[in-house]
Amino acid sequence: MTNTNTTQDEIMAVFPKVAETMADALGCEVERVKLDASLIDDLGAESIDFLDIVFRLERAFKVKIPRGKILEEARGDLSESEFDKGGVVSEAGVERLKSFLSEVPPERFKNPLNVADIPRLFTTETFCKMVIRQQARSGGTGAAASKPV
Amino acid sequence: MDHHFRAFSFVDRIVSVQPGVKICGSYNIPPNIEAFPVALVAEAVGQLAAWATMAAVDFERRPVAGLARPIELQDEVHPGQKLDPSVELETAHAEAAAYRGTATVNGKPVIQLQHCVGPMMPVKDFDDPNALRLRFELLCGRGAEPGAFQGVPPLSIEPTNGQPGKRLSAGFQVPSSAPLFADHFPRRPVFPGSLLMHLNLELAAALALQIPAPAQATRWRLATISDVKLRTFISPGERLECEARLSESSNDCALVAVETRKANKLIGGARVRLAPENHP
């Protein structure tokens, strides 16, 4: 089951603008920002780029993206101590992450997975879903609902 | 001499503050220095924003230079003038601070920063939190004694190669020691992002002199710097390579992309918009 039942239509509706925003932030050609591109491994993003991308997405889509929210949402009903211990994600935490970040191929989830390495999993689609979730919270626009991905 | 809060501090007084929301200050540019580059005006605004941010989080974290776009360069400032910066914070939380700000001289705007973002880092890695608290109280009270800044340290940029009117490259050796490092910052000396911006602007200006002047104007002037991104700290003694490259030009404006590398790794970038002289 995906997080918040984000649909493929919704993702593709925001993808072009998300890709353009990310390309501007990263100083790369928009063609490189594919939906499944990993921000760090494929696009060379650094921590400052993550900040830049989030602020640009907020302005482009007129939403607020609360910091740290993605991890909180990924945890779901797991407590912090159930999700990770000493900075290493638990088995239950990894399973929860795999479900939440359903756009990320399962083989990319290292074992053991450090909390600090979670951003390495993020793809363009991860940010598309982030925007869609925030639009839904603020009552913003999104694509018409169709079958969940 | 103790250079802390002297060698690279550009807020003499905090006139009003709502921590985490907005702040107004003042800074008297010492009359006896050679020049006060516009990049240091941006630094003054950034330092004011830092005070408001630090006060909002009880001086546990502080913003460092990160992103800026765009910065409108509206007028020059000169030694002896009084700068009146003001800042509105857009966000101030544990991860980052975002703000916009302006600075005026005699009520006339000299710089406008539209959207700056500074990653937040532990204060204790850079300075003594209690010293910062006391300094904040002083700035909000009677203010600091003006005149401490002794001017921009000698920064020699060495042209390496280029293509006249198209591209200009230069090497820069960050000083191994300078009074400013004792202030920026006492526990972790860092070459200021604003001084890197100054060097980038100097390089862009040198390239601008090589670009044919637009019609109805005699030359290009620096109008805006945007998409400023600093990716890493620059330590004393490091060697940097800067490059300015003309990316677009028309009769109304020219765009120069500036990049800074350290050991071939991109560590900073910006875009400088040139406007015909005497045109907005």
Helix, strand or coil, per DSSP, at residue B164: coil
Nearest to B119 among A27, A48, A59 (CB): A48
- Residue ranges and CATH numbers for the domains of chain B are 13-140 (3.10.129.10), 158-277 (3.10.129.10)
Give A-chain residues touching B67 at CB under 8 angstroms.
Answer: 48, 51-52, 55
Tell me, what's the ipTM?
0.85
Cβ atoms of residues A132 and A6 within 8 Å: yes
Distance from the B258 Cα atom to the nearest Cα atom in chain A, whole angstroms: 12
Q: Residue-wise over B217-253: b if at least 16 C-beta within 10 A, else e?
A: eeebebbbbbbbbbbeebeeebebbbbbbbeebeeeb
Whether the model clears a pTM of 0.80, i.e. scores above it, the answer is yes
Cβ atoms of residues B277 and B209 within 8 Å: no
Give B-chain residues touching A52 at CB under 8 angstroms.
Answer: 67, 117, 229
Express each pLDDT in B19-39 by its tens digit.
999 999 999 999 999 999 999
Rounded to an integer, what distance in angstroms lies between the CA atom of residue B192 and that of residue B194? 5
Distance from the B216 Cα atom to the nearest Cα atom in chain A, whole angstroms: 33
Q: Which class for A35: exposed (0-12), middle (13-18), buried (19 or more C-beta within 10 A)?
A: middle
Nearest to B269 among A27, A55, A59 (CB): A27
Distance from the A48 Cα atom to the nearest Cα atom in chain B, whole angstroms: 6
Express each pLDDT in B143-153 by its tens digit.
999 999 999 98
Express each pLDDT in B75-120 by its tens digit.
999 999 999 999 999 988 888 999 999 999 999 999 999 999 999 9
pLDDT (mean) for A130-134: 92
Give A-chain residues touching B66 at CB under 8 angstroms.
Answer: 48, 51
pLDDT of residue A140: 57
Rounded to an integer, what distance in angstroms lies between the CA atom of residue A72 and that of residue A76? 7
Nearest to A46 among B93, B117, B231 (CB): B231
CA B75 to chain centre: 15
Helix, strand or coil, per DSSP, at residue A71: helix
Token pair listed for B150? 């002794």
